Structure 1
């Protein structure tokens, strides 16, 4: 079974401006495939777009077209924009377009019931019709609306990024409240979750325990709907890549081999329709057509 890191970022501030990177210290520099290799070895990964422009999405798809190590690309889209799905369709027709396996629309704090907006629901349904997976980056207070959207759209595959750990103030309310709000999503079979992006929550004073978070996720989703993601290079603010991977390996130690393999790669392969054994443009095009039917 091919291991998959289901959540890495690549960026080059010299090519595409990211406003948040300007104040991000050591992160404000290019992080490219060679840097990922230096940090993690020859890992196979799903790259998630960190910026918001179609030009950057094209750049990432071009990188995927030239490297089988990038098993898929999740691009950004503003699903409240009526033209969002047309833009996705255009990207899929360009170089590397067959590597486009998912779309992410950050649902941050203060956005209200964004996932309930009629245009967002139409966009989500259209992505589902195309066999594309939808990543959800959930901000504070947005777990209930994420559940409502996923409940109403069972034909769409949803991926909860970073365990939705920022959707609840876990330092104030504890893991019990987070687990309670996450549980309804866990009862929906077309929703999977990433064991990723926990660095800040763990590193903060009185932070959460990786083991405790993993126990909740394994209970709510089960290992066959849970996937590992390093969140590299964002994670380097708190931990080296090998430390993130090692901590994940430790919490999977009590699982069967098949269950651990699901978290390490099997869930990602199924959720994104990946073909890590044959990620050529031809192989990806075949997989894309299969996802649409």
Structure 2
């Protein structure tokens, strides 16, 4: 079973997303019907795109109404002492069982050494929730220290931290060396996602090179496929992302392929495979709010 471990859904008419205003082609509604049109009925994990509790409730409401969403990674401010209370409250609301993780992109991971951030991370680990890391330039080191010091927390490195080093400027070896530190920690897994800018724009590296590094660093059993749809449509339609990843993964054994295409995501996020296989003919109903 394939699980797309990284998609986004948003509606600018319902929730404010400042970054969308300057992104041609993305500043419109992308809902579950759009995802089905692009990807079919593959189960997916929806990852936050905004920073409001209202968006989190909206995503959880969608997940409660459709088995298309196997899980939701919500936004939370790790530097806020009340963030875990917010997560506990969300888990008790509609769609709460589908809340499988948290992502705090503020600072691009630079705050991971802060005391309150560490406390929040530890509390999330106690609750069995995963923490997605969207790492910016120069933050692989602090991410490694946080994951090393908090072995009880499951960390998911989004997009293989491809933006932490400018691989398009000859930094592929530097990125690989820094990523290897994280790869040495058993509580860290990595998403094969979000490579469009690094691989499709002028001066980019090949997808084969990027995936080869990820395989060397993490091995296939700690990797998971994610399309990063609809952000990925800036460079390629969904079917092209899928076919490109299928091509570069062609040398995997059957067991390794099962892990990358869904097994790792199910295990790390604690997804319910049975729920993901519920009758997908169920009509999609998108809740507002």
User: TM-score with structure 2 length normalisation?
Assistant: 0.94
Alpha-carbon deviation of 1:256? 0.3
3-state SS of paired residue (2:190)? strand
Alignment of 1:100-179 (within 5 A): 100-106=99-105, 108=107, 112=110, 114-179=111-176
TM-superposed deviation, 1:280: 9.7
How much has 1:279 moved relative to structure 2? 5.0
Summarize deviations over 1:157-176 as a string: whole Å, max 9, x none: 00000010000011224211
Mapped pair 1:258 → 2:255:
yes
Tell me the residue number matched to 1:33.
32
Distance 1:154 1:16 in 2: 35
Instruction: State the distance in 1 between where 2:184 and 2:171 align.
Output: 21
Residue 278 of structure 1, CA deviation? 2.4
Match of 2:287 in 1: none
3-state secondary structure, aligned to 1:181? helix
| CA–CA separation in structure 2 for the residues paired with 1:43 and 1:265 | 10
Equivalent residues of 1:73, 1:102 under 8 A apart:
yes
Trace 1:47-62 onto structure 2 (pairs within 5 A).
47-62=46-61
Contact residue 43 and residue 276 of structure 2 kept, 8 A: no
- Distance in structure 2 (CA, Å) of the matches to 1:262 and 1:247: 18
SS in 2 for 1:154: coil
Tell me how far apart the structure 1 counterparts of residues 201 and 25 of structure 2 sit (CA, whole Å).
19
Paired residues of 1:165 and 1:198 also in contact (CA < 8 A)? yes
Partner of 1:21: 20
In structure 1, distance between residues paired with 2:277 and 2:225: 23
Unaligned runs of 5+ in 2: 279-289
Partners of 2:170 and 2:29 lie apart in 1 by 37
The Cα of 1:83 is off from its aligned counterpart by: 0.9
TM-score by length of 1: 0.93
Q: Which residue of 2 aligns with 1:247?
A: 244
Q: Distance in 2 between matches of 1:177 and 1:15?
A: 41
For 1:222, which of 219, 222, 246 is the aligned residue? 219
| Counterpart pick for 1:195 among 181, 187, 192 | 192
